[in-house]
Structure 1
């Protein structure tokens, strides 16, 4: 058995998010195209007699260290004990799946540490609807309540910027503000992801159905999108998940970096990071 194990928990970015219905039990049905960025949190685990969680890093403040943390619940799901250190680089409640990606990374690290198999998708779903898709960070179509997963490719190396104005947008509140819960799904035919112009044009025709209600709750999200769209070289700007993080896809790395520098000068209190699709290169 390994003495320690580590896993990277990349930010999950919803390139699209179509809300297609709501089940009788309240769960919303989604159709979403998901990619994973090369920025994220880090999990380190060590064998121990009792499970403990220590949270460090720039976004450690306010993160629970008890059973409320999904990494703790991941250890319980596996039936193991461990000393877990979570290094937080992603803001909480930000629409980038931080907690879910942390849980998936914890599962990867703990199963490596104890040389045990990953649980079934049905079991993992108990940790949260976004946890299964985070197990294998790749360009993925996620549908249903998160249980329908189709890996599409190793991703698209688009230069991107993630922007969060450091406001919390409670997911239940955003869904409650959505006037129509029965919207169209994505087309069944996907573009050739190796052709950037074609792929981005296809993405522009899709939606994030939660964007408008989130902006109504926190108008600063609209300001983030406006700033990205006005940046030279931005091909597409959209909100991820239920917010408040927004992303911008740029034509070139140079134009992305110019926009990054300008945004950081203009909005020094916002969380603004450059990124690309981590694809199968996740750490």
Structure 2
């Protein structure tokens, strides 16, 4: 049934999810990997519109063609998970299957628009629970344990994707170690410099495996370093990488340089959404 309190279209942003760090700490008997990750979101993202009507999905935007014919899109699965009949329009501004949570963020935006969530949002995907709130958080387990982190500063980022597909299952299969240490203790309410210093003591444990599958990821990381990034790292299972820059001007200069040198890559300047201030 269509929600009785959804008389008109509801628009929800679906911010891109960035794994600033991602440690693989174990593997369950059922094969699912245990993760420990610091996740943030950006002002850049997709957009979802949910309106009354029979269940349907229309996709617009620069990456719409990459989802053509997807009958099992996560937006549809999210609506079905709460028994909603609704017309969904997805404006796809982010590359598909690129390690920045596009599909999970889209599904979470549908659930927010509907005002409902399934009992186990992680059943839709490991990133869906953290994307529901879309605030900086530490994500543990198989994605079901989410701890919001107040007081994190905004960071200036450049996102770069070499337009190479990297299947997530293949990356996990290529891991050489699955019992890595958890994240170190995060300083309380760090400023940008302290957060960056802490990040240098962390990793993305999927990065080496993804580079083995798609060597272009190493080229992206090198390009970000050469453009002045204070930290360059892959997000999620790739292939999107991010560079942290001192300010918006530095990120813009890097964007211009990389876009000129690599016209086939997807390059986007953005900044992270700050977390709410600590409760007093």
- Smaller-chain TM-score range? over 0.9
How far the C-alpha of 1:256 sits from its partner, in A, is: 1.4
User: After superposition, what is the alpha-carbon deviation per residue over 1:141-176, rounded to whole angstroms, capped at 9, x for unaligned?
Assistant: 000000111000254221110000000000000011
Q: Report the CA distance between 1:279 and its aligned residue.
A: 3.7
8 Å Cα contact 2:149-2:275 kept in structure 1: no
Is residue 130 of structure 2 the alignment partner of residue 126 of structure 1? no
Q: Report the TM-score when normalising by structure 1.
A: 0.92
| 1:236 alignment counterpart | 231
Residues 222 and 161 of structure 1: is their aligned pair in 2 closer, same or farther, counting only changes over 3 Å? same
- Describe the SS at the equivalent of 2:193: helix
d(CA) in 2 for partners of 1:220 and 1:119? Answer: 38
**RMSD, aligned α-carbons:** 1.5
Which residue of 2 is the match for residue 249 of structure 1?
A: 244
Aligned to 2:179: 182
In the alignment, is the contact (CA less than 8 A) between 1:94 and 1:169 conserved in 2? yes
Count residues with an aligned counterpart. Answer: 271
**Separation in 1 of the partners of 2:105 and 2:175?**
25
Secondary structure at the residue paired with 2:66?
coil
- In structure 2, the partner of 1:137 is 134
Question: Unpaired segments of 5 or more residues in structure 2?
Answer: none
Distance 1:249 1:255 in 2: 10
**TM-score, scaled to structure 2:** 0.93
Gaps of 5+ in 1: 112-117
After superposing on structure 2, the runs of 4+ consecutive aligned residues of structure 1 that deviate more than 3 Å are 64-67
1:152 to 2:157 alignment: no
Provide Cα deviations, 1:238-275, integer angstroms capped at 9, x if missing partner.
00000000000001222111111111111111100001
Which residue of structure 1 aligns with residue 266 of structure 2?
Answer: 271
Instruction: Give the aligned partner of residue 88 of structure 1.
Output: 92
Cα deviations by residue, 1:168-213 (Å, 9 ceiling, x for unpaired)? 00000001110111111102x2124442211101101100000001
